[in-house]
């Protein structure tokens, strides 16, 4: 039994080493195809895509194209970009803030909507820090939040 297990491990290690050495042609081709699609979609291939290893390009582009750039999702482009901006301000990432501000405007966001998205992100971050830092009991918080939602719902009916 031990000989069989040892033999299996050696065989598995050999196969793993062989796979690590053999270049993945399909992944190289998908990076090439992704670069072509990026250029066709955006007019050029931004350097940000070139920072990725080639095996990751197609997947990264598919993620962006299927969610962020897809007009047939549950959220419209303006909403997605305002969300991106809100997150970017809190990371913080100056590249992302610049990009998502411009993309939000391209998708119809006004200066006031941009300010509000940033303010909302700041409010959420502030209260997150307060609640976490104060170690507020989560079960109690949820119960109180549900009571607030119920009271607001009752007033609106």
pTM: 0.78
Region 14-35 average pLDDT = 60
Nearest to residue 117, comparing CAs of 86, 76, 81?
86
Q: Is the dihedral of CA 121, 151, 130, 139 positive or negative?
A: negative
pLDDT of residue 10: 45
Distance CA 139, CA 24 (A): 50
pLDDT of residue 3: 54
Please say if the pLDDT value at position 21 is more than 50: no
pLDDT tens-digit series, residues 105-145: 999 999 999 999 999 999 999 999 999 999 999 999 999 99
Please say if the pLDDT value at position 33 is more than 90: yes
């Amino acid at each position: 039994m031990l000989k069989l297990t040892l033999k299996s491990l050696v065989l598995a290690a050999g196969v793993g080493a062989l796979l690590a050495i053999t270049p993945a042609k399909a992944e190289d081709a998908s990076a090439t195809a992704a670069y072509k699609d990026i250029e066709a979609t955006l007019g050029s291939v931004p350097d940000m895509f070139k920072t990725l290893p080639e095996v990751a390009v197609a997947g990264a582009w598919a993620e962006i194209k299927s969610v962020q750039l897809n007009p047939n999702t549950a959220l419209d482009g303006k909403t997605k970009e305002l969300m991106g901006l809100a997150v970017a301000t809190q990371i913080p990432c100056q590249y992302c803030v610049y990009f998502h501000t411009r993309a939000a405007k391209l998708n119809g966001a006004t200066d006031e909507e941009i300010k509000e998205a940033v303010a909302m992100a700041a409010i959420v971050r502030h209260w997150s820090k307060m609640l976490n830092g104060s170690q507020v009991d989560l079960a109690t918080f949820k119960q109180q939040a549900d009571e607030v939602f119920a009271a607001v719902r009752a007033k609106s009916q």
